[in-house]
Amino acid sequence: MSIPRVFDAHVHVQPWHMLHPAVHERLWRDRPGAAEILATARDPGRLLRFLDAEGIETAVLVNYVSPEVMGFTEEANTWIAEFVRGHEDRLIAMGSVHPRLTLDALAQIYETAARLGMPLMVHTGTSIFPGARNRFADPMPLDDVACDFPDLRLILAHGGRPLYMETCLFLVRRHPNVWMDVSGIPPKSLLEYFPKLERIASRVLWGTDWPGPGVPSPRRNVEEFWALPLAEASKRRILGENASLLFTGTPRVRTLP
């Protein structure tokens, strides 16, 4: 049985040079292959060759504005837009707004994203970095957003792991305009965290969170996921079809050799 090529809805290719020195040290000091990973953020062609080797057809490159905790300024949005230029068929740029600095404009952002059919991702996983406020990872406030903006396509990143997974499951089951990605969750543990995963398979997106800790190989994560006792149709939806429909409007998937 062939594993389909993957639409990875949660990859981090970011302007690593913006990182605070302490964060840079924590991320890369003991990371095998750190130099090669950092090099992919300087060369889209190099990144595409890596994705080919890992069986990834399309990747959403998640960037976020976090000057206080991480060091990423609003210039990260311009950086990622330039990085994907000419490769938009396979690389999808995702920028961000700083919620504290754009609080008064959030409704306008939701309205605009809904009108444009642009998915909006919200981080719902905890963070280990000093200064991160993990109470803001609780996804329940998004219940109001999903109600008030029913045409807005919301993605709950990381499925609320490890504290808010039941809340994420509830929101996905309740709202037809809510999806979640499973990035950052060890594939072998996925059914422990979400025993009812197959019931919501049509609104689950595959994401690796590469190059996050514990993700040395996106391909290995896919292979571990493919070994789970789920229907093949559900696996194909999660690995590619759902994200392709959400981001491009076409359920395109190909098969690995």
Chain centroid to Cα 243, Å, comes to 10
pLDDT at 255: 41
Q: Is residue 1 part of a domain?
A: no
Contacts of residue 154, Cβ cutoff 8 Å, sequence gap at least 6: 119, 120, 121, 122, 142, 145, 146, 175, 177, 178, 179
Report residue 84 as tokens: 């994907």
Q: Which amino acid is at 49?
A: R
Contacts of residue 72, Cβ cutoff 8 Å, sequence gap at least 6: 14, 15, 18, 19, 63, 64, 65, 66
Q: Is residue 254 part of a domain?
A: no
pLDDT at 40: 97
Tally of domains within the chain: 1
Q: Is residue 93 part of a domain?
A: yes
The CATH number that applies at residue 128 is 3.20.20.140
Q: Is residue 202 part of a domain?
A: yes
Q: Is residue 195 part of a domain?
A: yes
Q: Is residue 257 part of a domain?
A: no
CA distances from 156 to 130, 167, 231 (A): 22, 10, 23
Q: Is residue 40 part of a domain?
A: yes
Q: Which residue range forms the structural domain that includes residue 96? A: 6-247
Q: Is residue 16 part of a domain?
A: yes
Q: How many helices (H) and strands (E) does the chain have?
A: 11, 7
Chunked mean pLDDT (size 10), the chain, 257 residues: 88 97 92 95 98 96 94 97 97 92 86 96 81 78 97 96 93 97 95 95 97 90 97 96 91 47
pLDDT at 136: 75
Radius of gyration of the chain (CA): 17
pLDDT at 1: 57
pLDDT at 254: 45
Chain centroid to Cα 105, Å, comes to 23
Q: What is the SS3 assignment for 147?
A: helix
CA distances from 99 to 2, 96, 125, 169, 224 (A): 42, 9, 16, 24, 35
pLDDT at 102: 77
DSSP symbol at 98? -
